[in-house]
A and B are shown apart, each in its own frame.
Chain A
Amino acid sequence: MPQTIPPYDPAAWLTEHGDYLYRYALLQLRDDAAAEDAVQETLLAALGAWERFSGQSTVRTWLTGILKHKILDIFRKRSKEPQFTTSSDDPEADLALLEKSLFDANGHWLQAPSAWNEPESNFARQRFWQIFLACLAQLAPAHAQAFQMRELDGLSTEQICKDMNISSTNCWVMLYRARLGLQQCLEQRWGDRQLV
């Protein structure tokens, strides 16, 4: 079915959506200059990505999707801490290694997951999101990529397998690996095990 695709007009992306993107970036990055750079990077990347814009979302949503990736790149560069996880070529072996540190020989949790506070206010949600981004930035790039495609871009696992050229089993394993890594990181920084 033909979708109505708006005309290609990069200047309008800036005039119509620039401030929105800037606010979005500022909220995450808390730094004027970094937010400006993120908007610029986003619009420049959008020039090259326009052919793939299907018109299924609005231009603003499409640009915001690109911006999210740019923000994550910045978080990754900022993160001076060593990566929480490493990835090897064998997702199963990689997962097994992490599982060993989380479960005992009978497969019971060594430390059971806790009930997290549900962030109810806008402020608490933003704080959760900041911590979440920092945790995502610590994942091995392949895990973070699979997770981003699934949860931020909303792609199906079939699409992710195709794009990353992996089997569907490996795809589920990578996503699980990413979620476990995030869960562990958030448990420490958001949950009961928070190191104060």
Chain B
Amino acid sequence: MLSCQEASRLASQSLDRILTLRQRIELRLHQMICSGCRAFARQLQHIRQACRRTESSEGIDLDTASLSIAAKARILQEITVKQRERKQ
């Protein structure tokens, strides 16, 4: 039987590689009887979903915010300077 320490390590690895059949069964069995490790696995999923979510524009609702003309001019100038430096 896996300990919580072993189970949480496997729960993390399951997000990065395909576990062996034996590991998957052991992890599943442990999680069936351990609410702490079930919660831990859900937390990891939660973190992953939060990271994925920002891939889309969802949540960006500051429709009116935009760069000021002055800021755009300044940034454009910086880009031009940097490009010139890079060409040399």
Is A172's CB within 8 Å of the partner chain B? yes
Whether the Cβ atoms of A109 and B4 lie closer than 8 Å is yes
Residues of B near A183 (CB, < 8 A) are 40, 43-44, 47
Is B17's CB within 8 Å of the partner chain A? yes
Q: In the docked arrangement, what's the CA distance between A185 and B40, Å?
A: 13
How far apart are A39's CB and chain B's nearest CB, in angstroms?
7
Residue of B nearest to A19 (CB): B66
Interface residues of A in 1-53 (CB under 8 A from B): 10-11, 14-15, 18-20, 22-24, 26-27, 36, 39-40, 43-44, 47-48
Q: In the docked arrangement, what's the CA distance between A47 and B83, Å?
A: 7
Q: In the docked arrangement, what's the CA distance between A107 and B58, Å?
A: 40
Given the interface contacts A18-B75, A151-B51, does A115 sit within 8 Å of B3 by beta carbon?
A: no
Residues of A near B4 (CB, < 8 A) are 103, 107-109
Given the interface contacts A27-B62, A172-B16, does A18 sit within 8 Å of B67 by beta carbon?
A: yes
Residues of A near B51 (CB, < 8 A) are 151-152
Interface Cβ pair total, 8 Å cutoff: 135
Is B28's CB within 8 Å of the partner chain A? no
Residues of A near B86 (CB, < 8 A) are 47-48
Interface residues of B in 51-81 (CB under 8 A from A): 51-55, 57-63, 65-68, 71-72, 74-76, 78-79
Q: Please report whether the interface of chain A is mostly helix, strand, loop or mixed according to DSSP.
A: helix
Q: In the docked arrangement, what's the CA distance between A24 and B35, Å?
A: 37
Which residues in B have some Cβ–Cβ distance to A below 8 Å? 3-6, 8-9, 12-13, 15-17, 35-37, 39-40, 42-44, 46-48, 50-55, 57-63, 65-68, 71-72, 74-76, 78-79, 82-83, 86
- Which 7 pairs between the two chains have the least Cβ-Cβ distance? A107-B3, A112-B36, A107-B5, A176-B12, A151-B51, A113-B39, A113-B40
14 contacts between A and B (CB under 8 A): A11-B76, A14-B72, A14-B79, A22-B65, A40-B75, A43-B75, A47-B82, A112-B35, A113-B43, A116-B42, A125-B50, A172-B17, A176-B8, A186-B47
4 more A-B contacts (CB under 8 A) besides A39-B75, A64-B55, A116-B43?
A: A14-B72, A107-B4, A175-B12, A180-B8
Which residues in A have some Cβ–Cβ distance to B below 8 Å? 10-11, 14-15, 18-20, 22-24, 26-27, 36, 39-40, 43-44, 47-48, 61, 64, 68, 99, 102-103, 106-109, 112-116, 118, 122, 125-126, 128-129, 132, 150-152, 157, 171-172, 175-176, 179-180, 182-183, 186-187, 191
